[in-house]
Structure 1
Amino acid sequence: MTPKGRMRRAAAALAVLIATTALGGCGIRTTQVPVDAGPAPSRVPCEVTSQDLTPQAQPKGVPVRVYLVCASQLGSVDRTARVSEKAFDSRVQIAQALIDELAREPSSPEHEAGFATYVRGPLVLSGPRTGDPAGTLRLSRQPEDLPPAALAQIVCTLAESRAAATDGSVVLGGPGEYAPRGYQCSAETKERPEDPVPTLGALPSPSS
C-alpha cells in the first residue's frame, strides 16, 4: 500500500473513532434494538399536607373528603363543606354539599399538588321518586352523560360518605324517566377513572 493510501485509511479509522466517542458521550446507544423505558415518572406529589393550608384557607363548615383527579388517578383531599351540622343528617343535603365541593375549582395548594376536577356545575340533587330503589339520588343531568372521570369522582366521593346506600354503593338517576343505576367505587375506578364506572346488578328494594 502506498503512503498516500495508508494516510487515507488512517484518517477513515480516526473519523469512525471520533464518531463513536461522540455518540457515547451523548448517552446515545449504538444498538439498533429499540428500548422501551416506560412512561416518564410523575413529578406531582398528589398530596396536600396540613402545612400547605393556612387558617384563611379553611372556611367554617363540616369536614368532608372528596375525590379529585391527579396523575390520571383519583386521590382524596380533605375539605370543609359549607353545610350546617343539622343539615348534615340529610342524605340529599350532604350529597349536594359534596357535589358542590367537587364542582369547585381546586385551591392553590391542591392545584400545586397536581389535583384537578372534571365535575362541572351546576348539578342539583334530589331524592328518590316513587318506585325508585331505596337510597336513590337523582341528578339534574343524566349520570351516563357525564365525563367518565367526573362520574368516577362523584361515585367514589358519595360512596365513602353518609350519602351512600347501606352497602356502600351509590344509586344515581337523572332528570328523565330512565331507571336509576347502582354504581360501585372499586380499586380499578380509583386507578383508572377514565374507564366506565362499574354498575351493580340487583338494586335495593323500591322506596315507598
Structure 2
Amino acid sequence: MTRRGLRGVLAAAALTTVLAGCGIRSTEVPTDFGAAPSRVPCGASASGISARDRATGVPVQIFLVCSGRLVPVDRTVRVPGQAGGTDRVRIARALLTELSAAPAADEKQAGYTTEVRRGLTVTGPRSGDPGEALRLSRRPQELPTAALSQLVCTYAESAASDGGAVLLGGPAGTDPRRYECTPEVRERPGRVAPPSRPVES
C-alpha cells in the first residue's frame, strides 16, 4: 500500500470514531414521562348537557376561570315561567345559579374554576332604576375581582345584557352602574376589574 493510501485509511478510521462519539447511544433502559394528558386544558366543555336538556332548556354561555383567564362554557338552563320578575331577571338568576355551582368533574380536570360563591342573589330594578338594571345582594365592588368579571361577562353576553353591557347595583342605597366586559377583563379577570360608569339620567 502506498504512503498516500495509508494516510487515507487512517483518516477514514479517525472520522468514523469521531462521528460515533457524537451520536446518541441506544439504551435498553425504559423511560417514563408519565401518561399523556387526558384533556386539553381549557378545552370547550358541554358538561351536563343532555339531549333532554337541549330540548327543554335554553342554551347559554357562562364564563369560568381557566389558566388565569375567562373562558366561555356552554350550558343549558331552565327558566321557569313563574312570577317573580321579567324574563331578563329569571335568566339572570339561572345564570347566577350556574356560575355559583362547582364545575363538573371533567371541567375541574380541564382546569375550570369559579370565583362566584353560593349565597349571592339577584333581583330586578328598584323604584327609580332603569328597567334593565339588576340588583345583587352585595355591592358589586365588594365582590372579588374575578367573581365580578365572571358575572359581568356572563350577563353582558346574555339576554340579560343591555347592548353588550350590564347595569348592576347592590342593595338599597347604592346606585346601579353600567359595567362592560372588555378583552382585558377576559384575559386578566383577577387583576383587571370590569370598567364601569354611572348610569346617565
After TM superposition, is the score higher than 0.5?
Answer: yes
Q: Report the secondary structure of 2:117's partner residue.
A: coil
Asked if structure 2 preserves the Cα contact closer than 8 Å seen for 1:169 and 1:182, the reply is yes
Aligned partner of residue 109 in structure 1, secondary structure: helix
Aligned residues: 161
C-alpha displacement of 1:85: 7.3
Residues 100 and 94 of structure 1: CA distance in aligned 2, closer, same or farther (over 3 Å):
same
Does the 8 A contact of 1:62 with 1:85 survive in 2?
Answer: no
Q: Do structure 1's residue 104 and structure 2's residue 129 form an aligned pair?
A: no
Give the C-alpha shift of residue 103 in structure 1: 0.3
Deviations 1:54-80 (A, max 9, x none): 849968522210000000000011012
- Structure-2 residue corresponding to 1:177: 173
**Against the structure 1 CA distance between its residues 202 and 140, is the aligned structure 2 distance closer, same or farther, given a 3 Å change threshold?**
closer
| CA distance in 2: counterparts of 1:145 and 1:186, whole angstroms | 20
Q: Does the alignment pair 1:122 with 2:119?
A: yes
Tell me which residue corresponds to 2:66.
Answer: 70
Verify: 1:81 aligned to 2:65, yes or no: no
- SS of structure 2 residue aligned to 1:77: strand
**Residue in 1 that maps onto 2:155:** 158
Give the match's secondary structure for 1:163. Answer: coil
The 8 Å contact of residues 73 and 191 in structure 1, kept in 2 or not, is answered as yes
Q: Tell me the percent identity.
A: 47
Work out which of the two has the higher radius of gyration on C-alpha atoms and give 1 or 2: 2
The C-alpha deviation readout for 1:119-138, integer Å capped at 9, x for no partner, is: 00122211111222341100
Matched, 1:95 2:110: no
Instruction: Kindly state the Cα deviation for residue 117 of structure 1 after the two structures are TM-superposed.
Output: 0.3
From the superposition, tell whether residues 53 and 162 of structure 1 become closer, same or farther in structure 2 (CA, over 3 Å). Answer: closer
| Structure 2 alignment gaps of length 5 or more | 1-38
Aligned partners of 1:57 and 1:74: how far apart in 2?
A: 28
> Does the CA contact (< 8 Å) of 2:176 and 2:199 recur in 1?
no
Question: If the length of structure 2 is used for normalisation, what is the TM-score?
Answer: 0.70
- The residue number in structure 1 matching 2:185 is 189
Give distance in 2, aligned partners of 1:57 and 1:162.
22
What is the RMSD computed on CA atoms of the aligned residues?
2.7
Q: Map residues 123-142 of structure 1 onto 2, 5 A cutoff.
A: 123-142=120-139
Amino acid at match of 1:105: A
User: Contact (CA 8 Å) 2:149, 2:194: kept in 1 or not?
Assistant: no
